Structure 1
Amino acid sequence: MSELAWWQRGVIYQVYPRSFQDSNGDGIGDLAGITWRLPYLAGLGIDAVWLSPIYPSPMADFGYDVADYCDIDPMFGTLGDFKQFADRAHELGLKVLLDFVPNHSSDRHPWFEESRSSRENPKRDWYLWRDPAPDGGPPNNWLSRMGGSAWEWDERTGQYYYHAFLREQPDLNWRNPQVRRAMDDVLRFWLDRGVDGFRVDVLWLLIKDAQFRDNPPNPAYEPGQPEHHRQLQTYTEDQPEVHEIVRSMRATLDEYGERVLIGEIYLPVPQLVRYYGANGDGADMPFNFQLLNAAWNAGEIARMIRDYDSALPEHAWPNWVLGNHDNPRVASRVGAAQARVAAVLLLTLRGTPTLYYGDEIGMTDGEIPPDQVQDPAEIRQPGIGQGRDPERTPMQWDAALPGAGFTNGRSWLPISTDTSVRAQDGDPSSMLSLYRRLLELRRSNAALVQGAIENVAATGDVLTFERHYRGQRLFIALNMGAADAVMQPRSAVVLLSTLAGREGLALPESGYRLAGSEAIIAAI
C-alpha cells in the first residue's frame, strides 16, 4: 500500500480537546491530557489525530471564534505543550491535524479591533462592512446560522458588519488579497511546527456574493427548522470564486510535502465533489457527511454509496464520516446494536474513514440539564435540536473513578458513566474490541484500503458489497434490521463478525442466516 499517501491509507480520529482528558483538575481537557492518552489512540489503531480548535479565544463558540491564529489558548496549554503533543504523536506513528477556522475570527481579534476602529483604518476592508439600507436597517436579508440577522450594527462607524454565525464571529473578507496572505502565513506557521494537515472549517462559506444580493425564500422551509433555512443560501455559500482559494491553500500545503487538506462542506454530492478541483488541485478530501443524517436502511445506504462513488472525479479519493462535534452520536441515532453495524460499514467502505472520540466505546448523547446548557446554538434557538452539547460530553475512561477518569475537578459538561474504556478493555465482545479488530483487519487487508467497491446491493434489510484488489476479494454483509435474514452468498469464510464465535465460519452458497444487527466481513 506504499503507493498511497498516508491520508489515503489511514484512519482519522477527531478529538474535541475540551472533552478528551483534563490534566490539571479544572474540568476542561487540555493538550497535556491528550498527550497522556496518545498511547491509547496508537493502540486503538488509528493513524491521525485531528484536534478541534485550540487557539486563544473568548469561547463565545468554544474556540471557533479565534482571537489569535498563531498561539494556544491557556485553557489548553502553551505552544510548548503543543510541541510535546506533536512530538509524542509522531513518535507513536500518528499524524497531527489542526482545525483551521478562516471564514471568521473573534470580534476580539486584533484584526477586527483595528477594522472597527474607523472607516479609514487599513484593515477596514479585512471584514465585510456595509451601509444601512435606505430604511436604516440591515443591508440585505441575509440570516445568521445562529438565528436572527447576519448583520450587526456598529454605532462607532455607522455601518453594519456581516457574521454568518454569532455577532462575536465577524466574517473575514476573502476577496481582499491581504487577508489571503495573512491566512497563508497562518498555515505556514503551523506547517513549520510539523502539522501534517488541516481540516478547514466551513470551507464552502468563505466567499459571499460581491453584489450582496438578497437570498431568495426557500419554498421547502418547514416550521421548527433553523431560521436561516427560511432562505436558499444562493448568495452566501458555494460561490464560484471559493475554488481559487482552495487551490491556493492546496499549493501552500504542497510546498511542505505530503500534507492533507480536508474541507468541511455541507453540500449535495454533485456540488461537494467540485471541491476536489479539476486535476487534484483542490481539497484532498471534501468531507462526505452523508452518513451523519442518512435514513438508516439498506436501500438508502446502498443508493448513497453507488451515487457517491460514481460522482467522484477520476483523480478523487473518497472519504466517509460517521460522527463529529456538530451532530448526534451514532449510537444515539441508530441504537447500540446498529452502532456496531455502522462501525463495520465505516471501516469497510472505499475511502478514508473519520471517527469521533468515544464512538469506539459506543458513547451516546449526554443529557444536559437546562441550567447546564453551554452551546450558543441551543441558547439562541432553543427546542429545535440545534444544541451540540450532548455529543461533546467528556470521554468516559473509567466509570469507577471520580469524573470517569476525565477530570479530578468539576467537568465543564455532565459526564455519563453508562460505559467506559476500562469496562470494555479486555472484553472480546465489547464495542472497543470490535473497533480494534476492525482497524487491525483494515491494516492487514489491502482490499479494504485501496480496493475497488463493487456489487453494492440491498435485499430487504441487508446491505452487501464487495471490495477487491489484486486477486483478494472480500464480501461485506450488514443486517440493518433487527430480524434474522437468510443470504445466499458465494462461498466464503468469515474473517470478522459483530457476533462472537463466527470467525472462521464457512458461508455456504446454499444460504447463511445473518442475525439481526449482525455484520460480517468474509474472504471469498
Structure 2
Amino acid sequence: MTQHLAAPAPGTAHTPSTPTDWWRDAVIYQVYPRSFADGDGDGMGDLAGVRARLPYLRDLGVDAVWLSPFYASPQADAGYDVADYRAIDPMFGTLLDADGLIRDAHELGLRVITDVVPNHSSDQHEWFKRALAEGPGSALRDRYHFRPGKGTDGQLPPNDWESVFGGPAWTRTTDPDGTPGDWYLHLFAPEQPDLNWENAAVTDEFRSILRFWLDMGVDGFRIDVAHGLVKAEGLPDLGTHDQLKLLGNDVMPFFDQDGVHDIYRAWRKILDEYPGERIGVAEAWTPTVERTANYVRPDELHQAFNFQYLGTYWDATALREVIDSSLAAMRPVGAPTTWVLSNHDVTRHATRFANPPGLGTQIRTPGDRELGLRRARAATLLMLALPGSAYVYQGEELGLPDVTDLPDEVRQDPSFFRAAGQDGFRDGCRVPIPWTSTGPSYGFGTGGSWLPQPATWGGLSVEAQTGDPTSTLELYRSALAVRREHPGLGAGTDVSWLPDTGEGVLAFAREGFVCTANTTGAPVRIEAPGTLLLSSSEVTLAEDGAVLPADTTAWWSV
C-alpha cells in the first residue's frame, strides 16, 4: 500500500541558500537508494538510510545529491518502471521519509535532485491497467503506443524496432474476451510500456508531477531517457538488424527526435516558476556532443550528461579530443559541460580502466585491480579539474571495483534475462557499499544486503579508509575541499593546454591553477609549474622539476 502526502504550497518548501548558478560547477553525488544504506534492516537500502548518512555526504564535500527512483513500482527494472509518480515504494519508506530527507539535506547545505521517468510507465500504472481492461477503443490506449500487428492475423509486430534490453520492442496483448489483441511499444522491458507524448493527458500529467515534487522542495530532476519521449511520425521501420549496435551512434526513429525539445521548453518554464534555481538534467544518449548541446539551450534544460566523456578510455589523445569537443559544443549555448566516470548503468571506472581498451562500458572481467585503481584515482583528479559540473557515483570515492563474479541466481538486471540484449552486468556496479570494516553487511544495515558483497570489502569501507592519507576516500575529500576553495577549479568554460608536455601527458592551465596527468605506464619528468596542491600518487619533487609516476594526476597552484 502506498502513502500520499499533500505537498506544501508552491514556493514554501525550504531550499538551501547557495550562490547563483550553483549548478554550473556543482559536484553532484548519485545515490542508488537500494544500495546506499539500509535504515530498517531488511537488506534493502531505503530513504531512512540515506537520510541518516547525509552528514557523510556533507563532509565529503559534494554540493548536491541525486537520488535514483524511489517511487511506487513493481521493481521490474529497479524502480525505473513507475506505477505511481507521487508515491514512495514501501521498500524505500514513505512520503514523510522523503520530506524529512529533503529538509535535512537542505539544512546541511545539500541540494536534492530526483529522477523522473517520463519515457515509460510501469505496466502496473493505473492508466495501463485500465487500457488493457477496457480493450480496443479505450481512450486510455492513446496514452501509450498501441498498434495492430502485421501479418494475416496481426501475429507480427507493427515494426522492426528492438528493445534496448534485447528482443522485440513490442508485446502483444490479450483482449478482454481472451483473443489476441493489439501490440504495445516498450523500448525497454515489456513491463515498461512507452508513453505517447502526442497525447495531451500525458503532457499535463507530467507537468503536475513536476510541480508536486518541486512543491516538496526538490532542487531539480534528472530526466531518464530524455532523448526518447518523441517517436518519428508513423513509427517507421529502421531497416537494420543491428539496432543495438547503433544506439547512441545515430539518430533513431525512437531516439533524439527534434520534438523532444518542445517538451523541455515547457518544463523549463515550470522550473523557472520556483525560487532557488531548480534545474533539469538530461540523460540524453545522442550521436554527438553537438546534438547533446541542443538539450541545454538557454530555454531548455540546465545540464546534460556527457556520455562521450564517460565512454573515453584512459588515453591522453582521446581524452584531450573529448574535452575539447565537449567544451566547444556547450560554449555556443552557454551551458556548463558535465563530466562523469561511473553511474548505475555502466561498469565502475576502477574496473573499466583495469582492462584493455575497446571493451566498452560493460566489462565482465576484474582485470588488474591495482592498475585500475591507480588510473581511477588519476582520472578523478583530471575530471574534477575540468570546468563545469562533475558527477560522482556512490562508492567510487571508496575506489570500489565492479563485482564481476555475482552468481546468476542473485542477478536482478532485466537485461541479463533477455537474449541478444545488453550484457546484463549492471548488477555489478549496484552491490551495496561498505561502511564499516566488519559486520554481516559491512555497516550497510543489520539484515544483510540484497546483493552479496565481496569478502574483501571491509578493507574498502568508509571506516577503514577514514583517516588514512593514502586512501581513495581521503583523496576525494581533499580534492573536493581544494575544488571548493580554489577559483581555478570548476568555474568557467575553457582550459588552456600547455605545449610540449610529452607523449601521453595532459597539462592545462586555469586561473591560478595547472593540472598535469600522466596517462602512460611509466614515470615522466616534467617542469614543476608551481606549488603542488594534490596528487593521485606520490610525486617526487626536485629543483629541476618533478617526476609524475605512471597513471598519475597532479594539481598545482601557480
Question: Which range, TM-score by smaller chain?
Answer: over 0.9
Count of residue pairs brought into register by the alignment: 508
1:521 matched residue in structure 2: 555
1:163-199 deviation per Cα after TM superposition (whole angstroms, max 9, x unaligned): 0001110000001111100011000000000000000
1:443-473 deviation per Cα after TM superposition (whole angstroms, max 9, x unaligned): 00121021431116663221111112xxxx2
Residues 408 and 456 of structure 1: is their aligned pair in 2 closer, same or farther, counting only changes over 3 Å?
farther
**Helix, strand or coil at the partner of 2:212:** helix
Once the two structures are TM-superposed, the CA of residue 233 in structure 1 deviates from its matched residue by 5.6
Instruction: Give ranges in structure 2 of 5+ residues lacking alignment.
Output: 1-16, 354-371
More deviation in 266-275 or 68-77?
Answer: 266-275
Select the residue among 278, 283, 286 that pairs with 1:259. 278
Q: 8 Å contact 1:128–1:161 — kept in the other structure?
A: yes
Is 1:204 the counterpart of 2:213 in the alignment? no
More deviation in 427-436 or 292-301?
Answer: 292-301
Once the two structures are TM-superposed, the CA of residue 392 in structure 1 deviates from its matched residue by 0.3
Residues 369 and 28 of structure 1: is their aligned pair in 2 closer, same or farther, counting only changes over 3 Å?
same
Once the two structures are TM-superposed, the CA of residue 380 in structure 1 deviates from its matched residue by 1.3
More deviation in 436-445 or 283-292?
Answer: 283-292
Measure the CA separation in 1 of the matches of 2:474 and 2:52: 21
Measure the CA separation in 2 of the matches of 1:431 and 1:363: 9
Measure the CA separation in 2 of the matches of 1:477 and 1:12: 24
Measure the CA separation in 1 of the matches of 2:376 and 2:323: 18
1:130 matched residue in structure 2: 147
Measure the CA separation in 1 of the matches of 2:99 and 2:498: 44
Q: 8 Å contact 2:536–2:553 — kept in the other structure?
A: yes
Once the two structures are TM-superposed, the CA of residue 122 in structure 1 deviates from its matched residue by 2.8
Measure the CA separation in 2 of the matches of 1:134 and 1:376: 29
1:455 matched residue in structure 2: 497
Is 1:93 the counterpart of 2:93 in the alignment? no
1:258-290 deviation per Cα after TM superposition (whole angstroms, max 9, x unaligned): 00100001112121111112xx11110011122
Q: 8 Å contact 1:56–1:66 — kept in the other structure?
A: yes
Select the residue among 536, 540, 544 that pairs with 1:498. 536
Residues 456 and 375 of structure 1: is their aligned pair in 2 closer, same or farther, counting only changes over 3 Å?
farther
1:121 matched residue in structure 2: 138
Q: 8 Å contact 1:216–1:232 — kept in the other structure?
A: no
2:362 matched residue in structure 1: none
Matched residue type, 1:261? G
Q: 8 Å contact 1:143–1:228 — kept in the other structure?
A: no
2:324 matched residue in structure 1: 306
Residues 233 and 310 of structure 1: is their aligned pair in 2 closer, same or farther, counting only changes over 3 Å?
closer
Instruction: Give ranges in structure 1 of 5+ residues lacking alignment.
Output: none
Q: 8 Å contact 2:158–2:183 — kept in the other structure?
A: yes
Measure the CA separation in 2 of the matches of 1:163 and 1:308: 31
Measure the CA separation in 1 of the matches of 2:205 and 2:168: 28
Once the two structures are TM-superposed, the CA of residue 132 in structure 1 deviates from its matched residue by 1.3
Q: 8 Å contact 1:13–1:355 — kept in the other structure?
A: yes
Matched residue type, 1:115? A
Query: What TM-score does the superposition give when structure 2 sets the normalisation length?
Result: 0.87
Matched residue type, 2:548? L
Q: 8 Å contact 1:27–1:409 — kept in the other structure?
A: yes
Once the two structures are TM-superposed, the CA of residue 442 in structure 1 deviates from its matched residue by 0.5
Q: 8 Å contact 2:310–2:339 — kept in the other structure?
A: no
2:357 matched residue in structure 1: none
Matched residue type, 1:349? L
Matched residue type, 1:520? A
**Helix, strand or coil at the partner of 2:495:** strand
1:37 matched residue in structure 2: 53
Measure the CA separation in 2 of the matches of 1:23 and 1:441: 32
Select the residue among 446, 451, 458 that pairs with 1:408. 446
1:18-63 deviation per Cα after TM superposition (whole angstroms, max 9, x unaligned): 0001111111000111111011110000011110000000000010
Q: Percent identity?
A: 43
Once the two structures are TM-superposed, the CA of residue 92 in structure 1 deviates from its matched residue by 0.5
Measure the CA separation in 1 of the matches of 2:175 and 2:224: 30
**Helix, strand or coil at the partner of 1:161:** strand
Once the two structures are TM-superposed, the CA of residue 292 in structure 1 deviates from its matched residue by 2.3
Is 1:150 the counterpart of 2:169 in the alignment? yes
Residues 202 and 314 of structure 1: is their aligned pair in 2 closer, same or farther, counting only changes over 3 Å?
closer
Select the residue among 292, 305, 311 that pairs with 1:293. 311
2:526 matched residue in structure 1: 487
Once the two structures are TM-superposed, the CA of residue 114 in structure 1 deviates from its matched residue by 1.9
Select the residue among 376, 392, 414 that pairs with 1:355. 392
Measure the CA separation in 2 of the matches of 1:487 and 1:4: 38
Is 1:322 the counterpart of 2:329 in the alignment? no
1:228-271 deviation per Cα after TM superposition (whole angstroms, max 9, x unaligned): 76996621111111110111111111111300100001112121
1:424-459 deviation per Cα after TM superposition (whole angstroms, max 9, x unaligned): 000011101100010000100121021431116663
